Every structure is written in structure tokens, then in C-alpha cells.
A and B are shown apart, each in its own frame.
Chain A
Amino acid sequence: MAERQSPLEPELHVGSHGNFEHGVEILLTETRPGSIVQLAAWPGEEKKLIAAIRGVTGLALPDGAGGGLSDGVKSVFGFAPGKFTVTDEAEGLAAAFAKPVTPAIGTVTDLSHGRTAIRIAGPKAEWVLSKFFAIDFALPAFPVGAGRSTTHHDVFAQIQRTGTDQFDIYVFRSFARSFWEALCHASEEVGYEVQ
């Protein structure tokens, strides 16, 4: 596969920034998964699609809207009725789904080159994200593993909570740099480190 370049590169400055004299409270990273795949089930075929996700990734989706989980290498979460985002550190996930997700079950869309994955972690992650998105980031409302679809100024974002203090945000690649810059600005007041 062609080597991918980061859309963030001109604005990705490794090191500590902002008000970090008392320690950094936010870590920002681009996770660069090898595969980002969107799966959609035709109405009534959701259970078969969920079984296919389990077969390919070994991840058993919990029941309910926006449910998801991550094993640190592969992640999956629901972002709409019958629709799921699956990511893998390795490439080739779309090809792996092509067989089990038959045309009768649903569709496979490879977004590996179309989305940029940004991880925000640290004790102030909820605080900083609350400046962007009008959703509840508190742990009881947004449990670990769960996914949410939302928007920041018309920039569509899918967010998965991958830890108590950690969120993975998937944005359109073409919007990623401006979103990243905004995220850096919003993190300045608490001190942030880019890794």
C-alpha cells in the first residue's frame, strides 16, 4: 500500500505547549490506524453483521446504541442504527470483511485514507472536549468503549472513549488539520503535550 502522509504534519509540534508549568494535563497524539472501516447492515441483518465483526476482530459488541469496545489494537463501536466503525493498527481490515459481510448482509466502506484519528488523553480530556461538542462526556453517560456521532461547527466527528481519561476522535482527513489546531488552542489553558 502507498505510504500515508499525515495531514497534521505542518501543525504537529512534538513537545509541551501552553500553560504547562504545573504539568501537562492533556496528551494529544495522532494514532494512525492502518485500517478504518465503516460497516452497515441492511434492516434486519444487524445480528449477522455483529457476528461477522466478532469473527474478523474477536471483539464482541455489547448490546445497545453506541456500544463498543477496544482491545488496544482493534476497536469497534456503533455510530448509527445498524452501522459500525471498526479500526485496526494493521492494514487490510476492509479485505478481511469483504467475504463475511456478503451483499445480502450489508456494506463495507474502506475509510482508512479518508479519516484521521486523533487521541486526546489526560485528566482534562473531558473538560477540553466539552468546549467542542454539546454531548455529555461524563463517564456514566459515556462509558469506556462507547461511541458517539456528533459535530463541531459542521465538522462531523465520531468519538470513541477508549479509557477513563482517553478519547479517540475520527474526523474527515480534509478537516483534520484545522480541527487539530483548534484542539491545541483549546488545550493551551491546561497545558498539553504532543507525542
Chain B
Amino acid sequence: MLITCPYCGPRDVIEFTYQGDGNRERPDPASQNFEAWNAYVYDRLNPAGDHNEIWQHSGGCRAHLRVVRNTLTHEISSVAFVRGDHSSAARRKAEDKP
């Protein structure tokens, strides 16, 4: 499986670390809403198809990435920086893309 890092380009999955389900929404740290905390820790969509995930390019640029991966085919339909867009100096030039 290859993940195309927006900075580094296509890299083997061994360079990446899975950081968990990208659909979770962390409650406010001061929140006493146990149902919200329970949902954050345990509730998962477990879809057969496209799944929002967080990956880190830990063996490369170390950026955290928002990845949409198909759980049936492993096809990756989108990859973006978690932190949002970066300046042109940080992005891959169009001609560098595979």
C-alpha cells in the first residue's frame, strides 16, 4: 500500500504510523459529559468502504495526515495535512507529482 504524502510524494506504508479514526471528536477537556467521552473512546463507524483516518508520516516528514482509505480495497482517495494548507514552500510542486 502506498500513501502519497502531500510533502514527500508516494511512499510505502511502512513509513507511516496509524494514528486512529479521523471521525472522532474530542469533547472539551473540562467536559463531564460521560456519553460524549464514551463515544469518543469507543464508538466507531467501522464502515465497509471509505473511512476517514489520521496517519503520521513518522518515517519521513513526520507530518500528520488526514487520509481517506477504502477498507475493502485499501484504495486511498485523498491525503491532506491535518494542520491545513501550507505555504507554497512546503507543498509539492505540481510537476513533482507522480
Contacts from A to B (Cβ < 8 Å):
43-44, 46-47, 50, 61, 63-67, 78-83, 134-135, 148-151, 154, 156
A151-B61 in contact (CB<8A): no
CB distance from B93 to the nearest CB of A (A): 4
Which residues of B are at the interface with A, using a C-beta cutoff of 8 A?
6-9, 11-12, 14-15, 59-63, 81, 83, 86-93, 96
Determine whether the beta carbon of B60 is less than 8 Å from that of A149.
Answer: yes
Contacts of B59 in A (CB 8 A): 149-151, 154, 156
What's the least CB distance linking B79 to chain A, in Å?
13
Please tell me which one of the listed residues B15, B89, B90, B93 contacts residue A151 in the complex, with CB atoms under 8 A apart: B15
Closest to B63 in A: A81
B86 near A43: Cβ-Cβ < 8 Å: yes
Cα A46 to Cα B86 with chains together (Å): 9
- Report whether A63 and B89 are in contact in the complex, using a CB–CB cutoff of 8 Å: yes
Contact of B14 among A44, A134, A149 (CB under 8 A): A134
Note all chain A residues with C-beta closer than 8 A to B96: 64-66
Contacts of B6 in A (CB 8 A): 65
B93's nearest neighbour on chain A, judged by CB, is A64
Residues from chain A with a CB closer than 8 A to the CB of B63 are 80-81
CB distance from B40 to the nearest CB of A (A): 26
Cβ A79 vs Cβ B92 within 8 A: no
Contact B89 A46 (CB under 8 A): yes
In whole angstroms, what is the CA distance A64 to B96 when docked? 9
